[in-house]
Each structure stands twice: as C-alpha cells, then as structure tokens.
Structure 1
Amino acid sequence: MKVLIALGCFAITGAALAAPGVPEAQDYHYGQKLDIQRVVQPADLSFCGIREVEMVNEDSAGQLHRLRYPAWGQFCVNEG
C-alpha cells in the first residue's frame, strides 16, 4: 500500500513540475525537419558525458514543443 501511495505522489509531483501548456517531449530523429522560431528553455548541459536532454521551443506558428535529443555535457573536468 505504501508503494502505491509513493508512486501516486511521484506522478502528481511530476505533473506539477511540467511547464503548463508544453506538450510531452518528442524524440528527435536524424534528418528530421525542425521549425524552431525561438528557444524558450534551452537544454541543461551541466553534466559530463552523453545524455538525453530536453529543449522547449516555439515554432513559426507560436506553438510550443519539447524536443528530446542526445547531447554532450559541458562539465567534463579532465578534457583538453
């Protein structure tokens, strides 16, 4: 029973943290045509290595999109 309650709390918390009006993340596929007029929330690259990140952008029609794609982090200590 406690597990179900904990899972319910996580689901509610996750929904509350999602930006209002922004749809679920869509995975980027190589060669996909993107219509990005403005970046609303850039991806957080404060990590080391490769990981999936998300960016929120607005297209030329004013619609918001959340795009998920792999990126290389910018905080690797032993590079260069």
Structure 2
Amino acid sequence: MKRLLAATFLFTSCAALAAQDAPPAQDYHYGEKLDIKRVVQSPDLDFCGIREVEMTYEDSGGQRHRLRYPVWGQGCGNQN
C-alpha cells in the first residue's frame, strides 16, 4: 500500500511540474507569421474529421510556445 501511495504521489508531482513548464495555448489566426525553430511536441492526428489540436514549439530565441489550431485528421482511411 505504501508503494502504491508513493508511486501515486510521484506521478502527481511529475505531472504538476510538467504543467508548470507548459505555456498557455494561443489560438492560431490565418496569416499569422510564426517563428518556429524546433517542434517540441507535435499533435496526434489519428482521428477522422476536423478537430482542434495543440503543438508545442520553440522560437529562434529558445522560448517555448503552445499553439492551438484546427486540422483535418489523418485517420479517415478511404471514407467518402
């Protein structure tokens, strides 16, 4: 029981620290110029239809950003 409690506490602590490092998501607007030097985390596109996704990237100054934008998923197969 103590191991389970310790593992739960460790997982919760790590998740809280990761959330602190993540900047708030900003909505993308058509035509907006973006300074993307490196993609840190790309979205999972394994779905069908249009959905908002988030991408984390670093700009040329090394600052992290999170961008939210709509995209058509790639999991539709040959559906019409």
TM-score by length of 2: 0.73
Larger gyration radius, structure 1 or structure 2: 2
Classify 1:75/1:24 alpha carbon distance in 2 versus 1 (closer, same or farther; 3 Å): same
The structure 1 segments of at least 4 consecutive aligned residues displaced by more than 6 Å after TM superposition are none
As a proportion of its length, which structure holds more helix?
2
Q: Name 2:44's counterpart in structure 1.
A: 44
TM-score by length of 1: 0.73
Please list, as runs of the form range in 1=range in 2, the aligned pairs for 1:1-80 lying within 5 A after superposition.
Answer: 16=16, 19-79=19-79
Tell me the percent identity. 72
Classify 1:18/1:48 alpha carbon distance in 2 versus 1 (closer, same or farther; 3 Å): farther
CA RMSD of aligned residues (A): 2.2
Mind listing any 5+ residue stretches in structure 1 that lack a counterpart?
Answer: 1-11
Counterpart amino acid of residue 21 in structure 2 = G
Partner-residue secondary structure (3-state), 1:47: coil
Classify 1:35/1:74 alpha carbon distance in 2 versus 1 (closer, same or farther; 3 Å): same
